[in-house]
Amino acid sequence: MTLASKITLGRLCLVPVFAVLAVRYGHTVAAGQPVESLRWWALATFIIAASSDGIDGWIARRFNQRSRFGEIIDPIADKSLLLTGIITLSVVDWGPDGWRIPWWFCALAILRDLIILGGITILFFTRKMRHIGPRWIGKVCTVSQMFVLGWIMLKWVPFSPLYPCLVAAFFTAWSGYDYLMKGIRQLRQPALDKEAFRELAAKPTHVR
């Protein structure tokens, strides 16, 4: 296993650590005695995990450590961290007056990823899947969702988390629609022959 893949696995292992720290902090907030050290540990864990995404990618490119395992595990680790953050911060308050992610935003983020996953599955089994790479709107969606998490965890701005969630919801819905339309266009195309499909399936598919 390459060093890049080990770093990616480390990021995946940090996901439950963050979730436990975040929930424990939320419980102290609910009890009226917030333990700020838990919040900072949760934030530090999330930052380390998120930063490792760029590190493992740089190592893989710089030292030619690309592998099929890395291509599969990297997007899983990325999405696990992001969705865990969104779900966790939607079930516990991190401050007074509902300082959390609204349930509807959490549902929207999950629905978008389910649509993408379901679409890829359908295209794969019908042999109509062409290359699906990252889209610019998908990257903007990821950044806006990260911004929401930072807004809530840092608690530097006294305004409600509703405002960044509305902005992120716009890009999340736009991104989901963009991938849905691209999937529909591919579904209308003729199926690939087995040889061409095997070659395409061997290429990485990393959707943000």
Q: Which amino acid is it at 164?
A: P
Model pLDDT, residue 88: 97
Please state the domain extents for the chain.
1-95, 101-208
Q: What is the pLDDT of residue 124?
A: 80
Q: Please tell me the predicted confidence (pLDDT) of residue 107.
A: 98
pLDDT beyond 70 at 73: yes
* Position with higher pLDDT, 1 vs 164: 164
In the predicted structure, residue 141 carries a pLDDT above the cut 60? yes
Read off the pLDDT band of 63 (50, 70, 90): confident
User: Which pLDDT score is estimated for 31?
Assistant: 94
Higher per-residue confidence, 26 vs 194: 26
Question: What is the residue whose two structure tokens read 């080990």?
Answer: 6
Rounded to 5°, angle at Cα 114 from 108 and 116: 105
Integer Cα distance of 206 and 139 in angstroms: 11
- Indicate if the pLDDT at residue 34 is higher than 60: yes
- Residues 41-63 have a mean pLDDT of 91
Cβ count near 135 (within 10 Å)? 15
Token readout for 113 is: 């990823």
Taking a C-beta distance cutoff of 8 angstroms, is the pair 199, 134 a contact?
no
